Structure 1
Amino acid sequence: MSDSSRSPVPGQFTVVLHSHLPWLANHGRWPVGEEWLYQSWAGSYLPVFAMLRRLADDGLADQLSLGITPVLAAQLDDPHCAASMYEWLADWQLRATEAATSADADRRTLGAREYRCAADAIAEFESQWRHGGAPMIRTLASSGVMELLGGPLAHPFAPLLDPRLRRFSLTEGLADARARWAVDPAGIWAPECAFAPGMEDEYRSAGVGHFLVDGPTLKGDTALGRPVGDSGVIAFGRDLVVSYRVWSPRSGYPGHAAYRDFHTYDHASGLKPARVTGRTVEAKDKRPYDPQRADAVIDRHVDDFVDQIRRRLVDESARIGRPALVVAAFDTELFGHWWHEGPVWLERVLRRLPEAGVRVGTLASARRNGFVGTPVDLPASSWGSGKDWRVWNGPQVQHLVQLNTEVTETAVSAVEKVLATGGPTRSRIADQIVRETLLTVASDWPFMVSKDTAAQYAVDRAHKHAHATREICDAALSGRDEQAARLAANWSRADNLFAGLDARRLPTIDAPGRARG
């Protein structure tokens, strides 16, 4: 990098990461279920949080905005998940040991490398995660190295949600963050970046100061945060030019021939032995992964991305006539789980950007530092296909849309009756009805169906939680209180997340469209 390229450029660059998985505990293991959690934990959460600790130890602040959904946070703190994760890491090391004793030289090399990786992951887990994620996340948040973003409880597609449940899931989700991390998030990552006009007022009422939308929601003009209407709540837009530099399935960095291939497995061990080699190369013809070859490519991609950020800040600042903001936003699981080299790339980017004259900050610091423009009215939108709602309410998932509507209506009616007849004390029956309803309407299930990724698992999960909701409601509405209590207790053994959820805080409706409570 030349000396001229190190001169300061105007504006600020912000990385936003969205950490999310649906509730997987106690709902299957393989090929879809808890395995998904443990792969992401080992591949992404361990290295990404280790990176943040290193940055904090070096005195760096405001490095990125990190969203952790309440449903993922619950799993990272869950004793069953922690114990099972420890077992999963040990199994990884055992599989690597078996590969390391193979007669095949490539498998022996693979096994030895994976054994070392598993040993490092076990040491990291034992020292930082054995008591759940909350203690470490609290420490990182208090260090100032990152901004924590909150979100609604179980990751619903909010625009399609009954407004009572939508308000409840948001306020309870923010309360969950406060209880876990002693943080009141000033911002959120709305699930799927989904928005409907009027939601900005709900954000303001809940104390949310800023949130993220996809670039097309702001018609591509993402160079500043924009207040939504007269709410004072700021919408920040994802810059697709820089985000797709990484995330594009056709030309993004993770597809480089030298990087580890996500889809190719050594079936005897379950380990990933190959590099991408080429986009049209069959799995059986892919070449063995070589970390040294990949490392050199990481540095080239770091330099390319840093140069891209510099140019984008200069161009956007010139276009708007003032220092601009550039926001790159990704799923956290991209880094490590999907893109093996991603955490190393991200740390090198964050360390190299200031050396290249680029100011790094969070969404919160962008607000503080005035990277905010004039008010705007936002359309209905998301970051899904078409940038509308089709992934979550299109023809393929109409059966789930109808299911969600019916279950929500049944649940709210039952909760009102249970609370009306049970006195002022907390009702575990009502709590579990709400809990199962929230799991039913999670945005993950229609997404998986629309994208045909483990679609049957998604349908089964939606209907399982709908069944749980309905049978508890049926017993409660029929006056079979003991049976309702027994059913609620039984279902809570599997779905025991959100201990602070209190159905008494669920709003009721005074008139169409106006919530109370």
Structure 2
Amino acid sequence: MSAPIGTFCIVLHSHLPWLAHHGSWPVGEEWLYQAWAHSYLPVVDLLQRFADEGREDVLTLGVTPVLAAQLDDPYCLRGFHDWLGNWQLRARYAGVRWQRDDPLLRDLAAAEHQASEKALTAFETQWRHGFSPVLRTLVDANVIELLGGPATHPFQPLLEPGIRDYVLRFGLEDTRLRVGQKPEGIWAPECGYAPGMEWGYAKAGVQRFLVDGPSLRGNTAAARTVGDSDVVCFGRDLEVTYRVWSPKAGYPGHADYRDFHTYDHPSGLKPSRVTGKHIEPWDKHPYDPARAAVAVQQHADDFVATVVDRLHKLPENSLVVAAYDTELFGHWWHEGPAWLESVLRRLPEAGVRVTTLRGALEAGHLGPKVDLPASSWGSGKDWRVWDGEQVADLVAAGADLQRDLLSIVDTFGRAARNPAADQLVREALLALSSDWAFMVTKDSAADYARRRAKVHAERFSELAGLLRLGHHDRALTRAEELHAEDHPFGRLDARGLIP
């Protein structure tokens, strides 16, 4: 067998903020359940089929601790089970409602019913005890390399060093408890980086992390050690990554793919194909799975050709890393899982080694050290999405909250855990989630994001005030009330913040 022409790694980042008990439609728990049904279930199904074939090092999968907490949570598991049953009922209703309509719509209703039945069966037979047992089998079989991250997905460059270290250490330990192994790598939230953060990574045991391509000035053909540390960074190859999804274009916008934004509101299903960029929802054509399947194969061929061409242009035996949100595959892009499977099967046939970030290092893809600039994968590749004028108030509030948190940690005491102090820290970390600033800057459910940041900050302030005044019984009672809604990370121990 001839030597590979190069190495390809696909990295998927699975993340949603804490949504349980914080609204349902259009933003809230519905967001979680849609992503669960249409992305997490089919991507796991794909990986399990690769495992059954004996394939190893198929891809690198990041799962944030706050998402894992929801996918293991009994309340969310019950809610998702109900949602799947409702999906099945909606598909039946659509089948009756569309009986006299276009044959494509009748077929779509039948396909939706079959999909809901498959999802319900998968959940009841494999997921009843949460995601972690499912994920652990994939990790143990070496089908994936698992990436972890800070507990609640904060934008790390804006955190005080003590809080930054605590959130990362706790997040890695939480993942270890769920799957039995502590991740060696992380997907840094929003690929946010500030010079010197590599030393915090090294201290926490992180050996590798992701940055965006411009952080390496586009030189992403090998991993690089960061500064004088032994910590390694990998850069997204944007020339390849953007073939799938970019700020302006990509495969999911093709006319024959299912349109994400157009709903049949009585059933809640999505009956249309994209049709065209400027077509009104009521003028879009019915979704045709056969047309979509043809587009999937065309785009898989195009992507494989793009990777091969890119590797031929780079120095011999180079590395290409493409990285995406997991939720793109199935949730945002209905055909995404089928495309992903086709690409992962065709790349080896084209002479490309497909592996994980760990596998890329084992294959020798390590270049000279690099000094990284302050960066992210957001607009402008700097921090403006999370630290810009539109979110200046959120940034200021977050800075004040961190100062308050650090000023009160000495009162926690080391002798025993304090549930009120634990809830105080939990609310602080939820308030500092990077999602809120992103949603405001991008004007995506901005009101919801501002409300969430405000709610958690106010809950933090309420508990902090009670603890400062020595009203420990009242603080404990209030913490128990808040814990009913905000309860990720039952092992969270506020004493870990004490210097």
Q: How does 1:218-237 map to 2 (within 5 A)?
A: 218-237=216-235
Distance 1:249 1:57 in 2: 36
Query: Hey, what does 1:483 align to over in structure 2?
Result: 474
Please tell me whether the aligned partners of residues 221 and 318 of structure 2 are also in contact (alpha carbons under 8 angstroms).
yes
Q: Who is 1:172 aligned against?
A: 170
Q: Structure 2: which amino acid aligns with 1:237? A: G
The aligned counterpart of 1:327 is 321
Structure-2 residue corresponding to 1:3:
none
1:42 and 2:33 aligned:
no
User: Does the 8 Å CA contact 2:408/2:468 hold for their aligned counterparts?
Assistant: yes
Tell me the SS of whatever aligns to 1:375.
strand
1:209 aligned to 186, 207, 210, which one? 207
Written as runs of structure 1 = structure 2, the 5 A alignment for 1:112-151 is: 112-151=110-149
SS at match of 1:15: strand
Determine the structure 1 residue equivalent to 2:18. 23
1:168 and 1:507 in contact (8 A); partners too: no
Aligned to 2:443: 452
Structure 2 distance, partners of 1:276, 1:136, is 34
How far the C-alpha of 1:117 sits from its partner, in A, is 1.2
- What is the one-letter code of the residue matched to 2:169? T
Distance (whole Å) between structure 2 residues aligned to residue 323 and residue 356 of structure 1: 14
Is the contact made by 1:93 and 1:115 (CA closer than 8 Å) also made in structure 2? yes
Name the residue aligned to 1:278: 276
- CA deviations over 1:62-121 (Å, ceiling 9, x no partner): 011100000000000000000000100111111111111125423433322211111111
Give the superposition deviation at 1:355.
1.2
Note the C-alpha offset of 1:7. Answer: 6.8
Indicate if the aligned counterparts of 2:215 and 2:375 stay in contact, CA closer than 8 A: yes
Residues 307-316 or 53-62, more deviating: 307-316
Unaligned runs of 5+ in 1: 1-5, 509-517
Of the three residues 392, 414, 423, the one matched with 1:432 is 423
After superposition, the Cα gap between the structure-2 partners of 1:9 and 1:310, relative to the gap in structure 1 and judged at 3 Å, is: farther
CA apart distance, 1:412: 2.2
Partner of 2:246: 248
In structure 1, what is the equivalent of residue 338 of structure 2?
344
Aligned counterpart, 1:263: 261
AA partner of residue 260 (structure 1): R
- Distance between the aligned counterparts of 1:11 and 1:209, measured in 2? 23
- Alignment partners' CA distance in 1, 2:367 and 2:211: 15
| Residue number in structure 1 paired with 2:360 | 366
| Counterpart amino acid of residue 236 in structure 1 | F
Aligned residue number for residue 515 of structure 1: none
Task: Show the counterpart of 1:314.
Answer: 312
Question: What is the alpha-carbon distance in structure 2 between the residues aligned to residue 105 and residue 391 of structure 1?
Answer: 45
Q: Post-superposition shift, 1:144?
A: 0.4
Question: Residues 390-430 of structure 1: CA distance to partner in whole angstroms, max 9, x if unpaired?
Answer: 001111101101111111211222232122xxx51111121
Shift in CA distance, 219/481, structure 1 to aligned 2, threshold 3 Å: same
Is the CA contact (8 Å cut-off) linking 2:386 and 2:438 kept in structure 1?
yes
Report the equivalent of 1:154. Answer: 152
Report the 3-state secondary structure (helix = DSSP H, G, I; strand = E; otherwise coil) of the residue aligned with 2:259. Answer: coil
Residue of structure 2 in register with 1:398 after alignment: 392
Q: Aligned equivalents of 2:428 and 2:270: distance in 1?
A: 38
- Paired position in structure 2 for 1:441: 432
* C-alpha distance after superposition, 1:204-227 (max 9, x if no partner): 111100000000000010001110
Please report how far the alpha carbon of residue 507 of structure 1 lies from its aligned counterpart in structure 2 after TM superposition: 4.5
How big is the alpha-carbon RMSD for the aligned residues of Structure 1 and Structure 2?
Answer: 1.2
- Give the match for residue 81 of structure 2: 86
What is the CA–CA distance in structure 1 between the aligned matches of 2:150 and 2:368, rounded to whole Å?
27
Q: Which amino acid is the alignment partner of residue 358 of structure 2? A: A
| Contact 1:9–1:314 under 8 Å retained in 2 | no
The structural deviation recorded for 1:8 is 5.2
Distance 2:409 2:423 in 1: 10
SS at match of 1:494: coil
The question of whether the paired residues in 2 share the 8 Å contact of 1:9 and 1:313 is answered with: no
Aligned letter for 1:482?
D
| Cα separation, 2, equivalents of 1:248 and 1:160 | 26
TM-score, normalised to structure 2, is 0.98
Q: CA deviation at 1:311?
A: 1.1
Q: Does 424-433 or 73-82 show the bigger shift?
A: 424-433
* Offset from partner CA, 1:237-288 (integer Å, 9 cap, x none): 0000000000025431111111101011111111000011111111111100
Query: Are 1:7 and 1:356, in contact at CA under 8 Å, matched by a contact in 2?
Result: no
- Partner Cα distance (1:210, 1:347) in 2: 26
- Matching of residue 32 in structure 1 with residue 27 in structure 2: yes
Q: Residue 511 of structure 1 aligns with which residue?
A: none
- Is the CA contact 2:39–2:330 (under 8 Å) kept in the aligned structure 1? yes
In the other structure, the counterpart of 2:93 is 98
Alpha-carbon separation, structure 2, partners of 1:7 and 1:396: 54
Q: In the aligned structure 2, how far is the partner of 1:30 from the partner of 1:379? A: 39
Structure 2: 5+ residue stretches without partners: none
8 Å CA contact 2:375–2:383 kept in 1: the answer is yes
74-83 or 292-301: bigger deviation = 292-301
Q: TM-score, normalization: structure 1?
A: 0.94
| One-letter amino acid of the counterpart of residue 404, structure 1 | G
